Amino acid sequence: MTEIRRVAMVSLHTSPLDQPGTGDAGGMNVYVVEVARRLAARGIEVDIFTRATSSILDPVMPLCDGVQVTNVHAGPFEGLTKEQLPGQLCVFAREVLRAEAAQPLGHYDVVHSHYWLSGQVGALARDRWGVPLVHSMHTMAKVKNEALAEGDTPEPAERLIGEEQVVEAADVLIANTDLEAKQLINLYDAEAGRVEVVHPGVDATVFRPQDQAAARASLGIPADAHVLLFAGRIQPLKAPDVLLHATAELLRRRPEVRSRLVVPIVGGPSGSGLERPTALANLADELGITDVVRFVPPVPQDELAAWYAAATLVAVPSYNESFGLVAVEAQASGAPVVAAAVGGLTTVVRDGRSGLLVPTHDAVDWARALESVVMDPAHRDRLAAGALEQARLFSWDATAAQTLGVYERAGSLMREAVAG
């Protein structure tokens, strides 16, 4: 059994120090931070390597006791899109190897890379350091390309090839759900024996039931409002436009709710959404619902928790989610979730018990689902109780404990491969 003392995490394209909800920062950022913190609480040192995006950042910054972030200089600090980052892989990898070379021999016991770009660097580090590589995909190009939102840009062949290389190189792949594990095996030819399912978690000290009236008062929302909340990055994949179309349809069906309806969109443009940063606001105007829609910039977790507490329901209409942290956080806050029946959301949300799963992205279907919650308070209360029960299945402490077990197993697999 491999004793894990130090972990090198690689998160090249987005820093754990960034505010989730804008740019490329999202659920993966939360995942990296929470797992690193929980590992550190178990006495394991974690170094997170990410690309520096500002000249004012210190080369090494503490995240918490036992966790530090190394800001690697690779390319210009600003102006690089995720699609341009492959050109900086060599420089980034060189600097990661250089940082390790300054440490005593055998400094790290495992490399854990996040997203395919980091996996390319992780594979090189694994070979140079003689330690196992554990990789988390977080999203997969082949899955995304199978369910593109209208007007979204397909992932390029460069990423497809890169992901295949990382899948082949990794000693163990961590999947968020059983469905993701099957996708790795069926779409990427991953060996079933090298895929482990570890669910992400939720911080129940932050996302917990709160007094709804107090939460609404703090956010300037009327106490009797019907609050249909979207939280996340504004891009076609996350499909906030589906919620806006459904809202317009709901108002067509139930015009009497207009005076009480509030639809907050909490988040910032990201991905291909950066190409048309005003598109969602323009859509709200075209649909004639600007009076009920509120656009709110990304907020810290404690404020996000207040938005969940204030919500009548939380909508997650994504075209795909490897897991769906927003859905777990909302449920832990006692908010029912209306989600698309895709990807990890089918694991996170228990249809009819903690929320509703909508099998399409059609506005009429979504309006019916929203209406069933808004117009039936008893139904909403039953779902809210089920949401709390469902959220108890997910814990970052459990995620970290299982991840540590994966690290140990990866070390055993690597030794067996060398011996064989």
Domain ranges for the chain, please list them. Answer: 6-201+396-419, 212-391
pLDDT at residue 16 tops 70: yes
Q: Which residues are annotated as a binding site?
A: 13, 19-20, 24-29, 82, 115, 139, 159, 233, 238, 299, 308, 311, 321, 329
Three-state secondary-structure class, residue 323: coil
Q: What confidence score (pLDDT) does residue 286 get?
A: 97
Q: Which residues are annotated as a binding site for Mg(2+)?
A: 308, 311
In this chain, the answer to whether the domains covering 6-201+396-419 and 212-391 adopt an identical fold is: yes
279 Cβ contact list (under 8 Å, min separation 6): 241, 273
The dotted CATH code for 212-391 is 3.40.50.2000
Q: Which residues are annotated as a binding site for 1D-myo-inositol 3-phosphate?
A: 13, 24-29, 82, 115, 139, 159
Give the tens place of pLDDT for each residue, 157-215: 999 999 999 999 999 999 999 999 999 999 999 999 999 999 999 999 999 999 999 99
Q: Out of 119-133, 258-272, 323-337, pick the least confident.
A: 258-272
Residue 275: CA count within 13 A, CB half-sphere: 8
CA pseudo-torsion sign 240, 296, 313, 228: negative
Give the tens place of pLDDT for each residue, 287-315: 999 999 999 999 999 999 999 999 999 99
Query: Listing from the earlier edge strand, what are the strands of the sheet with 313-316?
Result: 293-296, 261-266, 226-231, 313-316, 337-340, 355-358
pLDDT category at 268 given cuts 50, 70, 90 is: confident
Distance CA 353, CA 375 (A): 17
Span 6-201+396-419 CATH architecture: 3-Layer(aba) Sandwich (3.40)
Q: Which residues are annotated as a binding site for UDP-N-acetyl-alpha-D-glucosamine?
A: 19-20, 27, 233, 238, 299, 321, 329
One-letter amino acid for residue 1 of the chain: M
CB 27 within 8 A of CB 48: no
For residues 293 and 412, the model is more confident at: 293
CB 125 within 8 A of CB 96: yes
Q: Out of 87-96, 271-280, 324-333, pick the least confident.
A: 271-280
CB 35 within 8 A of CB 108: no
Distance CA 335, CA 203 (A): 15
